[in-house]
Chain A
Amino acid sequence: EVQLVESGGGLVQPGGSLRLSCAASGFTFSDHYMDWVRQAPGKGLEWVGRTRNKANSYTTEYAASVKGRFTISRDDSKNSLYLQMNSLKTEDTAVYYCARELGDLGRDYWGQGTLVTVSS
């Protein structure tokens, strides 16, 4: 059974940093692109970014709203995906989801999300 479990959320002050993790199981993690998607309280979904697999040089892409502040990485030996968030702003407050990407087949599995609150 495919499972994605996010962790690392919490309360952080504006300007601070936080690192989220996503533990994957039930599939060959190293084969897949992985995405981060967030949802502010009461708002819609926002794509944060993605990392490709080793075959595609682990290249990353980011939404304009987080580019230069957030970094996506992965450790295939640990079946884990990470989101390093720096220079956090109040508008980064959201539930952060990791999702498995199947290219043209879409994002077929999602974690349950972890809440990040940026507030003083």
Chain B
Amino acid sequence: SYELTQPPSVSVSPGQTARITCSGDALPEQYAYWYQQKPGQAPVLVIYKDSERPSGIPERFSGSSSGTTVTLTISGVQAEDEADYYCQSADSSGTYVFGTGTKVTVL
């Protein structure tokens, strides 16, 4: 089955930049999405169509794509950004899949 691979954890100091990668063979052909999830809460969409930011999402969140890897970048990380982050995309048949998830810790 199709898999999207993320690093289990990323640690970053306040004000620094966090980069979270997501790798998958079908990413060159399928859009990627990023969701933020804080403990006990539902996920929140922070990036859609690889690099678009929904209204209400701070500008410090950005997305990019290169080949089989997409990246979520959080510039000027704040304490409130500490959360789990999941990429999501589709395989060649259109079935959706989430990435393995990355825990972002703000030191």
Contacts and interface: CB of A to CB of B under 8 A. Distances in A.
A61 B95 contact: yes
Given A110-B42, A113-B42, A104 B48 contact: yes
Interface string B16-34: 0000000000000001010
Contacts of B33: 106-107
| Residues of B contacting A: mostly | strand
Range for the number of chain A residues in contact with chain B: 20 to 34
Contact of B45 (A50, A63, A107, A111): A107
Most B-side CB within 10 Å, residue of A44, A97, A112:
A44
Given A97-B42, A106-B48, A46 B54 contact: no
Most B-side CB within 10 Å, residue of A37, A97, A111, A112:
A37
A45 B35 contact: yes
Contacts of A35: 96
A104 B45 CA distance: 12
Interface string A50-79: 100000000001011000000000000000
Contacts of B43: 37, 45, 97, 107, 110
A46 B98 contact: yes
Nearest to A50: B96
A21 B1 CA distance: 29
B86 to A, nearest CB: 5
Nearest to B46: A106
Interface string B88-107: 10000011111111000000
Interface in A82-120: 97, 104-108, 110-113
A63 B1 CA distance: 10
Contacts of A50: 96
Interface of B: 1, 31, 33, 35, 37, 42-45, 48-49, 52, 54, 84, 86, 88, 94-101
